[in-house]
Amino acid sequence: MASCSVPIEPADLPHIRFHSEYQRRRRPVVIRNATRVSGERFRKLTEVEELVRSWGSRTVTLSSANAFSYGRARMTIADYLSTMSESSWDGKDADNKYYWFGEHGPELEELLAQYALPRFASIAVETLASSPVCPANEEQQGVGACLHRTSISIAAVPAQTGPSQPPALSFGVAPHKSGVPFHFHNDGFSEVMHGAKRWLLYEDKPPGFQENSTSTWWLEHVYPRLASKNMPYDCIIFPGDLLYFPNGWWHATINIGLTVFMSVFL
């Protein structure tokens, strides 16, 4: 990819502009360096060596890497981190590949309690409590009422989320070329503490969608054949960046290098 096709804003983006131009209009955006300072402490706590030292004996739930993450497995953090790179992520058997993302129980409460919720996420939660989210083409369609929030539940997303509940944190660690194929759910934010994550986003169902194909398989076999009008929004985020994904947008992710990451679901 040559450049990021998702709109990019600086860390000092006014929250009024974020709400009016992105959250309310259901448009994705990358806010560069949004957590560069506020997230520094949590990045140190989530270095792989530190995770093994402090949390390695804890058992976590792994989720299958197909579109809606049906499968589950249990493994200690130390065992997972030592074996996660053994799987190939190039094929069409995503339901047989597992990685650590979401599905948190009390085993990680102490760690997640130290995560500083990004400023934009805090503002978004407050905004959702007082105003609905509208489709970007509301004026053209003449729609009188704003779009209702929808949700498809995957492993990292509670079946019921909304402005009356606190945001759901989904922490994970995954190897190079891993990721989740296209799916959609409520809106939220994503950032990486270490490594990088490539995001592919569509407002509607993506071409060549196969729920059991890995996102790397789609990137290598479908993406090169797409006409320019069918290309996704495409962007790589790095530590300090914050990506907002809108409610109902289809998205797939591919991790670049060993990646430690967090999503905040609203």
Domain ranges of the chain: 8-265
What average pLDDT does this structure show over 63-84? 88
What average pLDDT does this structure show over 133-162? 37
Say whether 105 sits in a helix, a strand or coil.
Answer: coil
> What is the predicted pLDDT for the residue at 69?
61
Better pLDDT: 250 or 152: 250
6: which residues sit within 8 A by CB, 6+ positions away? 28, 29, 30, 199, 201, 233, 234, 235, 243
Residue 159 above 90 pLDDT?
no
On average, the pLDDT of the chain sits at: 85
Residue 29 CA to residue 244 CA, distance in Å, equals: 5
> What is the predicted pLDDT for the residue at 202?
98
Residue 18 above 60 pLDDT?
yes
Given 1.20.1600.10, 2.60.40.10, 2.60.120.650, 3.40.250.10, which CATH number is that of 8-265? 2.60.120.650
Provide the pLDDT confidence category of residue 129 given band limits of 50, 70 and 90: low
> What is the predicted pLDDT for the residue at 94?
77
Residue 118 CA to residue 262 CA, distance in Å, equals: 11
Residue 98 CA to residue 65 CA, distance in Å, equals: 6
Q: Which helix (H) or strand (E) holds 159?
A: none
Residue 160 above 80 pLDDT?
no
Q: Which residue matches tokens 């009390």?
A: 106
With 0-12 / 13-18 / 19 or more C-beta atoms within 10 angstroms meaning exposed / middle / buried, residue 36 is middle
**Lowest-confidence region among 31-45, 54-68, 177-191:** 54-68
User: At 179, which amino acid appears?
Assistant: G
> What is the predicted pLDDT for the residue at 228?
95
> What is the predicted pLDDT for the residue at 158?
38
Residue 30 above 90 pLDDT?
yes
Q: How far is CA 203 from CA 68, 91, 100, 149, 155, in A?
A: 17, 25, 26, 14, 21
What average pLDDT does this structure show over 107-136? 78
Provide the pLDDT confidence category of residue 153 given band limits of 50, 70 and 90: very low
For the segment 200-237, what is each residue's pLDDT rounded down to a tens digit? 999 999 999 888 889 999 999 999 999 999 999 999 99
Residue 136 above 90 pLDDT?
no
